[in-house]
Amino acid sequence: MAFPVTRLQRLRRSGALRGLVRETRLDAGDLVLPLFVTHGRDRREPIAAMPGVERLTIEHVVAEAAEAAALGIPAVMLFGIPADKDEEGSGAWDDEGVVQLATQAIKEACPELLVIPDLCLCEYTSHGHCGVVRSDGQVDNDATLALLARTAVSHARAGADLIAPSDMMDGRVGAIRAELDDAGFGELPILAYSAKFASAFYGPFREAADSTPASGDRRGYQMDPANADEALREVLLDVEEGADLVMVKPALPYLDVIRRVKDATRMPVVAYNVSGEYAMVKAASAAGYLDERSVVLEALTSIRRAGADVVITYHAKDAAGWLSETD
Could you read off the pLDDT of 287-311 as tens digits, one per residue?
999 999 999 999 999 999 999 999 9
Half-sphere exposure of 216 (CA within 13 A, CB side): 15
Note down the domain range covering 107.
Answer: 14-326
- Among candidate residues 196, 262, 282, 317, the one labeled active-site is 196
Q: Can you tell me the distance from the alpha carbon of 116 to that of 65, in angstroms, rounded to the nearest whole number?
A: 12
Asked if pLDDT for residue 25 goes beyond 90, the answer is yes
**196 noted as active-site residue:** yes
List the alpha helices (DSSP H) in 80-188.
Answer: 98-109, 141-158, 172-182
pLDDT in tens, 46-98: 999 999 999 999 999 999 999 999 999 999 999 999 888 887 788 898 999 99
Give the start-end residues of each E strand in 103-229: 114-119, 164-165, 191-196
Task: Out of 8-22, 200-214, 286-300, give the one with best mean pLDDT.
Answer: 286-300
Contact status, residue 206 vs residue 260, Cβ threshold 8 Å: no
Asked if pLDDT for residue 7 goes beyond 60, the answer is yes
Q: Evaluate whether residue 7 is within a structural domain.
A: no
Q: Is 321 exposed, middle or buried (0-12, 13-18, 19+ CB in 10 A)?
A: middle
pLDDT in tens, 236-285: 999 999 999 999 999 999 999 999 999 999 999 999 999 999 999 999 99
pLDDT in tens, 131-163: 777 777 777 888 889 999 999 999 999 999 999
| The model scores a pTM over 0.85 | yes
Q: Evaluate whether residue 307 is within a structural domain.
A: yes
Q: Can you tell me the distance from the alpha carbon of 49 to that of 316, in angstroms, rounded to the nearest whole number?
A: 17
As a dihedral over the C-alpha atoms of residue 220, residue 173, residue 247, residue 64, rounded to 10 degrees, the angle is -110
Q: Evaluate whether residue 167 is within a structural domain.
A: yes
pLDDT in tens, 104-130: 999 999 999 999 999 988 888 877 677
Q: Evaluate whether residue 1 is within a structural domain.
A: no
User: How many domains does one find in the chain?
Assistant: 1
Q: Evaluate whether residue 316 is within a structural domain.
A: yes
Q: Evaluate whether residue 295 is within a structural domain.
A: yes
**262 noted as active-site residue:** no
Q: Are strands 114-119 and 75-81 parallel, antiparallel or unpaired?
A: parallel
Half-sphere exposure of 204 (CA within 13 A, CB side): 25
Nearest one of 218, 93, 239 to 167, comparing CA atoms: 218
Q: Can you give the pLDDT at residue 168?
A: 85
Q: Evaluate whether residue 3 is within a structural domain.
A: no
Q: Evaluate whether residue 8 is within a structural domain.
A: no
Write the CATH number for 49.
3.20.20.70
- Among candidate residues 85, 107, 249, 317, the one labeled active-site is 249
Asked if pLDDT for residue 5 goes beyond 70, the answer is no
Nearest one of 207, 176, 309 to 248, comparing CA atoms: 309
Q: Can you tell me the distance from the alpha carbon of 73 to that of 28, in angstroms, rounded to the nearest whole number?
A: 5
Q: Can you give the pLDDT at residue 240?
A: 97
Q: Can you tell me the distance from the alpha carbon of 171 to that of 281, in angstroms, rounded to the nearest whole number?
A: 36
